[in-house]
Every structure is written in C-alpha cells, then in structure tokens.
Amino acid sequence: MDIEKYKIPQISVFIENKKGRFYNTTNAMREAGVNIRAMSLADTMDFGILRFVVDKPKEAYDALIESDFIVKKNDIMAIAIDDECGGLSKLLKVVSDLDLNVEYMYTFVNSLDKRAVMLFKFEDIDSAIQKLSDSNINLLDQEYFNRI
C-alpha cells in the first residue's frame, strides 16, 4: 500500500481575531485560483486557527505566505462514509478498536455521491492509514478533492 497517496495536505493559518482577517485569507486564495474544499475555524481569545483542504495546496500555501500570514502545512487523512444515521459511530468504533488517537477532525457532506467525508488528524498518520486501510475503510486521496 502507498501510504503517501492517502496523506491529504492541510493548510493551517493562524489569524488574529480582528475584523477582515478571515476574508483576507480566503481572498488571497481566490486571487491564486485556489478552491476551498473543506474548512474548519477554531478560535481562542486572541487568535484563530483556520484549517483548509484545497484543490491546490502549494498555491494556497504560497499565496498565504506572500500575504504575510503564519501558515503551516501538515498531513491529515480523509475517509468517506455513508451519509446515514450512525455512519460516524460505526467508523469511530473501528478507530477505537484499532486504538488510534484522534487529535481533531472535521467534516463535510458531498451530496452528489451521498457520502460524508471525515477529515482526521491522527497522532500517527502512517499507522492510521495502514490500519484503516487493512480494515477496509474507504480512504480518499488528494485526487478526490481535485474532482469535487
């Protein structure tokens, strides 16, 4: 199995909690021709962390750096599950049984193919990819995000 194939680049941007900063990040990517596929925003008192999965990770990273944002790129993984009651619970049972540690996750629903896409940051991404693949979990690669 090619573990690298299932590592999805995630762009994290640290932004001040000030009016217009969220817009500035998305505008920088728009100007670079980057399409956002999934996004999460978490905040504290002084700053927020925007996490993006995009169709062009390198271009997004470069555009945000050029716009003077603090940017980090790391790998997450994407799993497709049926968009039905209990779908996430079934997946998390497998994750729990495999003794995988979830650092965080976020999601979106692709209504075109009636699946929910779960985006996970695991403590050990290589191990998680291997174990979940061996358990016949439907892993997605970057090409999926380029197609939707």
Strand partners, 53: 38
Alpha-carbon 18 to chain mean position: 24
pLDDT digits (tens, 9 = 90+) for 83-129: 999 999 999 999 999 999 999 999 998 877 888 999 999 999 999 99
CATH topology of domain 5-75: VC0802-like (3.30.2130)
Strand partners, 15: 48
Q: Where are the domains of the chain?
A: 5-75, 76-147
- Vertex 76 angle, CA 63 and 72, to 5°: 35
pLDDT digits (tens, 9 = 90+) for 44-85: 777 899 999 999 999 999 999 999 999 999 999 999 999 999
Q: Please give the model's pTM, rounded to 2 decimal places.
A: 0.91
DSSP 56: -
CATH topology of domain 76-147: Alpha-Beta Plaits (3.30.70)
Q: How confident is the model at residue 112, as a pLDDT? A: 75
76-147 has the same fold as 5-75: no
Q: How confident is the model at residue 116, as a pLDDT? A: 94
- Taking only Cα atoms into account, the Rg of the chain, rounded to an integer number of angstroms, comes to 16
Please tell me whether residue 113 adopts helix, strand or coil conformation.
coil
What is the token pair recorded at 10?
A: 């995630």
- Say which residue the tokens 């944002």 belong to: 69
